[in-house]
Structure 1
Amino acid sequence: MTVAIVGAGLTGSLLACFLARRGLPVTLYERRPDPRTGQAERGRSINLAISERGLDALRRIGLDGEVMADALPMKGRMIHPVEGPLDFQAYSASQDRAINSISRGALNNALLDAAEKAPGVEIVFEHKLVSLDSAAGVLGFETPAGLVELRADVVLGADGAGSAVRGQLVADGSVVDDVDFLDYGYKELSIPAADGKFALDPGALHIWPRGTSMMIALPNPDRSFTCTLFWPAGSFDALTTPLQIERYFGEHYPDLLPMAPSLVDDYLNNPVGVLGTVHTHPWQAHGRTALIGDAAHAIVPFYGQGANCAFEDVVALDRCLDDTGGSWARALPLFEARRRDNTEAIAEMALANFVEMRDKVASPVFRFGKQFEHAVERLLPGRYVSRYELVSFTTTPYADVRRRVRRQHQALGAAVALGLGAVVATTRALTRRSR
């Protein structure tokens, strides 16, 4: 039984490690040169926030300690208004739980190293998929040596949101897909270390909410910050000269300019990325070819769950293989059946969290609501848990999180209404007595 994984990114590399434990011969095919020997593509990193779901997957193969050695824990959001003091908002009611900032490139390299060391795993770079017979398991690659054709018993597409495997499956009629592009783009900037120190608090995810747009910044081990602008599509084109850029940021992000000496160069030269949600149906064909991670269900990055969700996919597929006695023909449909509701739930929540981060976090009403919710969590430990904590600090299935949060909000609303009703009734009674 031979397995071909197309895509040696985060998901493909982790998947290879899991399958190697099962004694399966695995070949990872990657269109890029080996990223461990080259230079990362400029402005395309979007730092990752690894939380419990991703950590759970790494623990299962003993990689959590090594991979997370350089990760930086972030215990909450630091809000940067245009004017006024910064505002720290803890992620958890206990104020001690954290998500972890890590470079996508560093994590990918660590997982590639682990896959390379795993028995039975071969990694082949500079192989671009150009054809696929999903029923026969025959793959065609464009390589520096020319076109090559290879065969595998199982083909798994782990090649991201722009998946070539998904494209081949769509072309042969095996699956249909729909990419719901967000009317926003992103561009990366950088805040370097200041005299060898962090220019901002490294224990927080920094947000500059500006209504219809925002910027975030995550810390790096070299004491820099990777910043990402999320602006409406087309708005990046409005700033074309250094003077325009400096004036705009001076007005809308006034604390950034002194900390970002390369801002103008980054803005003018870093590319604008696109954002979207991928919906695919089905995720597999013929019981031998399947999609996993972003290739099947890419989401927008605003809950920090893209990599976490994909890593959880790997754990779920591994369990399906256990539950079907290693039968791929049964495991692949079962994997989709178990995961689809969950991936659709986190896709929905990620979009909702964009609105929260962009429009709401600076609002006094929002801050009061979060403080009230944390107070309820402390009052009812284990019985009331916020959506953010369930998503980021547990492995509760995403679909269950969505259902539980709805029930909690309904119960809390009913309790508040009942309490207000009691106050009103008591006030009326006292008023009548005083007449």
Structure 2
Amino acid sequence: MEKSAEGPTKKKVVAVVGGGLVGALNACYFAKRGFEVEVFETREDIRQAKIVKGRSINLALSHRGREALKHVGMEEKITSQGIPMHARMIHSPSGKQSTIPYGKKGQYILSVDRANLNKQLLTEAETYPNTKLNFGHKLQDWSAETGLMTFVRSDGSQDQIQADLIVGCDGAFSAIRKQFTRRSRFNYSQTYIPHGYMELTMPPINGEFAMKPNYLHIWPRNTFMMIALPNLDKTFTCTLFMPFDDFEKITTGDEVVEFFQKYFLDTIPLIGLDALKRDYFRLPALPMVSIKCSPYHIGDKCVLMGDAAHAVVPFYGQGMNAGFEDCIVFDEVMDQFNEDFSAVLPEYTRVRVPDDHAIADLAMYNYIEMRAHVNSTWFLFRKHVDNFLHFLMPKTIIPLYTMVTFTRTRYHKAVERWHWQDKVINRGLLFSATGAVLGGSYLLIKNPPEINKLILPAEKLWSRVVALRT
């Protein structure tokens, strides 16, 4: 805080642009520190809206997000309204179901409703007397030098505010970030993947979930997939991820049914034929974008967080969790540098950029894992090996998913460790198979009658390792 000419302490003003999940949580963080917080959101207040516009892929809340919520006393309130998912439930084309646990016993991720979470965070932000929420305010212009911001209200009038710090939490198509792109030495990349997504609803049957609720259900079909997450109202939100070319090939209700009969037969009686024909064409498939940029700040006046800094595709379930972790990392840096924005902002960029870029890459990789690798015998074998080694050496071998989802290990450090572990384990498997074959050969020379007890199993092991790798 700083002193005015009269002497009393004058609170610094923090303008949070964007009233979504990360913006609302950030408002709580800054308000808790005693700043004067102004939140500006282009849309109307979703708590008052009769219809919340837009669709969203269901959210999976995990450790990083929970830690960020805990810091402002919101963890228990949010988790009590989520549904635990302990494992992936894999649905084969034949209808066979098999599970792949997410972690050790007791570890799970939570299916949470995006709109409800956003409403809860906005309401929590409003409990701070030093926070003001401004809806129907569209950013028109802002100055990185002075912190002066101009907003246009929904009625056409204008508002101006002088902020000591501008926090851009206004999503993948950030108005704040646009001004970053006009400056030199700002790196920016935007990648649309060739796949889109479409949401369908699986209603309850006789008032109960149509499938087992404590799982993230996946129908992996190599080049595309469908997932389903449970909701508190006993529905499942089903999300079909598929290349746009494939979406566009399906033009009639009969073609939708034919497609589902071929690839998702077990879901047809659960979703319903009429609903499937209707909902498939209700809205077009939506695109998914991955955005990377650097730096995240301009001087001591502006910083980007959440999707404005690092939009990621949804396949690792870390978009919201990474955005929430931005809040707690920034808060930790604020402690480290005693709220000196001139030191905090560049340090935040230095610490956070490599992690956010790492999770963006991991999210891209995990789409291939979810839609294809989970069908691979080698993938399942390696999962068992990784989990067994983690059980034997919990501090030495830690599965990648565990590091990302159930710890706050920095994302880029998790990737580095994963590559090292992968190399070590693969070499170990290769040496084990080689040793078994060589040991059998030695026995053949020394004791021919005993060799059949070992050589056949060894040959099978070696053949299995080679087959799995190919």
TM-score by length of 1: 0.96
Deviations 1:245-270 (A, max 9, x none): 12211221111111113222221112
Distance 2:184 2:47 in 1: 36
Aligned equivalent of 2:444, options 399, 407, 431: 431
TM superposition shift of 1:41? 4.3
TM superposition shift of 1:330? 1.1
Instruction: Determine whether 1:364 maps to 2:377.
Output: yes
Deviations 1:229-253 (A, max 9, x none): 1111232222222122122112211
Distance 1:264 1:87 in 2: 28
Aligned equivalent of 1:326, options 336, 339, 344: 339
In the TM superposition, what are the counterparts of 1:18-417 in structure 2 within 5 Å? 18-41=29-52, 44-92=55-103, 94-146=104-156, 147-171=158-182, 175-261=186-272, 262-417=275-430
Distance 2:295 2:182 in 1: 14
| Residues 74 and 98, structure 1, Cα contact 8 Å, conserved in 2 | yes
TM superposition shift of 1:296? 0.6
| Residues 134 and 169, structure 1, Cα contact 8 Å, conserved in 2 | no
Residue range with higher mean Cα deviation, 409-418 or 327-336: 409-418
Instruction: Determine whether 1:422 maps to 2:435.
Output: yes
Deviations 1:340-391 (A, max 9, x none): 1111111111111110001111223322221222222222233211101111
Match of 2:316, SS state, is coil
TM superposition shift of 1:56? 0.5
- Aligned residue identity for 1:247: E
Match of 1:111, SS state, is helix
| Residues 174 and 285, structure 1, Cα contact 8 Å, conserved in 2 | no
Residue range with higher mean Cα deviation, 83-92 or 10-19: 83-92
| Residues 299 and 345, structure 2, Cα contact 8 Å, conserved in 1 | no
Match of 1:256, SS state, is helix
TM superposition shift of 1:207? 0.6
| Residues 45 and 105, structure 1, Cα contact 8 Å, conserved in 2 | no
| Alpha-carbon spacing, 1:340–1:230, altered in 2? closer, same or farther (3 Å) | same
Distance 1:251 1:421 in 2: 42
Deviations 1:261-301 (A, max 9, x none): 32222211124221121111221112211111110111111
Residue range with higher mean Cα deviation, 100-109 or 362-371: 362-371
Match of 1:96, SS state, is coil
- Aligned residue identity for 2:323: A
Distance 2:105 2:247 in 1: 36
TM superposition shift of 1:40? 4.6
| Residues 135 and 289, structure 1, Cα contact 8 Å, conserved in 2 | no
Structure 1 stretches of 4+ with a deviation exceeding 3 A read 39-43, 171-176
TM superposition shift of 1:423? 1.8
Distance 2:258 2:433 in 1: 50
Higher Cα Rg, which structure:
2
TM superposition shift of 1:72? 0.4
- Aligned residue identity for 1:384: I
Distance 1:418 1:252 in 2: 40
Match of 2:315, SS state, is coil
TM superposition shift of 1:422? 2.5
Sequence identity of aligned pairs in percent? 36
Match of 2:266, SS state, is coil
Deviations 1:169-221 (A, max 9, x none): 32455844221111111111110111110001111001111111111110000
TM superposition shift of 1:225? 0.6
Deviations 1:320-346 (A, max 9, x none): 111111111211111010111111111
Residue range with higher mean Cα deviation, 226-235 or 407-416: 407-416
Corresponding residue of 1:12: 23
| Residues 43 and 188, structure 1, Cα contact 8 Å, conserved in 2 | no
TM superposition shift of 1:87? 1.0
Deviations 1:24-76 (A, max 9, x none): 00000000100111145466121100000000111111110111211000001
- Aligned residue identity for 1:309: A
- Aligned residue identity for 2:218: I
**Number of residue pairs the alignment of both structures matches:** 434
| Residues 95 and 265, structure 2, Cα contact 8 Å, conserved in 1 | no
| Alpha-carbon spacing, 1:322–1:31, altered in 2? closer, same or farther (3 Å) | same
- Aligned residue identity for 1:186: Y
Gaps of at least 5 residues in structure 1 are none
Match of 1:268, SS state, is coil
TM superposition shift of 1:413? 2.3
| Residues 386 and 405, structure 1, Cα contact 8 Å, conserved in 2 | yes
TM superposition shift of 1:417? 3.0
| Residues 95 and 266, structure 2, Cα contact 8 Å, conserved in 1 | no
